[in-house]
A = this chain, B = another copy of it.
Amino acid sequence: MPVTKPHAVLLISCQDQRGIVTAVSSFISVNGGNIIHAEQHTDETLGIFFQRIEFELDGFGIQRDQIAAAFAPTAKRFGMTVEVRFTDVRPRLAIMASKQPHCLYDLLTRWRTGELAADLQCVIDNHPDHAEVCGEFGIPYIHLPITPDTKPQQEAQVIETLEKYDVDFVVLARYMQVLSTELIADYASRIINIHHSFLPAFVGANPYRQAHDRGVKLIGATAHYATADLDEGPIIEQEVARVTHRDDVASLTRKGRDLETIVLARAVRAHLEHRVLPYGHKTVVFS
């Protein structure tokens, strides 16, 4: 792969008002920056302005660790929430899985082939099934079984493990347990889950059985940030596939696996490219 020079990304949201676009682009050009991408969106119902602006660090007159401070007066003037990110900073990633292998294996493969801009630290599993595969990929594998009785202890172990590996981004690759509210609060907008239905249809357990019972002609999958309300998190990506009366629950499940895999991969990629701005229980996903 070619070496790419690092860029900075500003993720901005604030109340919609005049002059924001000019103020932000001036900040960059006055300091000698070259804007590579700029996208904006206004939620006209709520009156919120969102912007993602990416510019070259090369030639920019402010050191990367000074950018946030230098931008603070502009942010203050417009009442902005701002995140400053860098395209060469790879988040430390943990994947959590249960028995089902497809999303886990797919992410491992994408990570190995360099497609995921993250540093995979560990795989946490409440079942022991994927130890060998993770070993082959050279990834620490932490088996944390859970029972109704040991739930609080297991949840504490999960948090300990994430802290031990200094994880800052978690992907739930068909992890079939509810996370503790503490963990979800600590990792707000930094945990992506895949639900195996077209939300908000078929919330909860066994969505493929529900889909079969209802006789739908399309099945879906939904990637979203994990929140305390199960299956109510901000949706990042969804996709569907056509099915027919011929598809029994097993067939729906098999076809759904390919959907889940691709939808989760797209959502993780959008997050890692700093293209997702969650707000309320919705998201802006820039292209």
Contact = CB atoms under 8 A, between A and B. Distances in A.
A56 to B, nearest CB: 9
Interface of A is mostly: mixed
Interface string A220-253: 1000000000000011111110101110110000
A280 B41 CA distance: 29
Contacts of A166: none
A142 to B, nearest CB: 20
- Counting chain A residues whose Cβ lies within 8 A of the other chain, the interface size class is 35 or more
B201 A214 contact: no
A113 B109 contact: no
A198 B106 CA distance: 24
A182 interface: no
Contacts of A64: none
Contacts of A28: 22
Contacts of A22: 22, 25-26, 28-29, 35
Contact of A265 (B44, B236, B248, B258): B258
A218 B220 contact: yes
A240 B218 CA distance: 9
B283 A215 contact: yes
A150 interface: no
Nearest to A237: B217
A250 to B, nearest CB: 9
Contact of A214 (B41, B218, B242, B281): B281
Given A218-B220, A240-B240, A21 B45 contact: no
A87 to B, nearest CB: 15
A10 to B, nearest CB: 13
A62 interface: no
A40 to B, nearest CB: 6
A272 interface: no
A245 B136 contact: no
Contacts of A76: none
Contacts of A265: 258
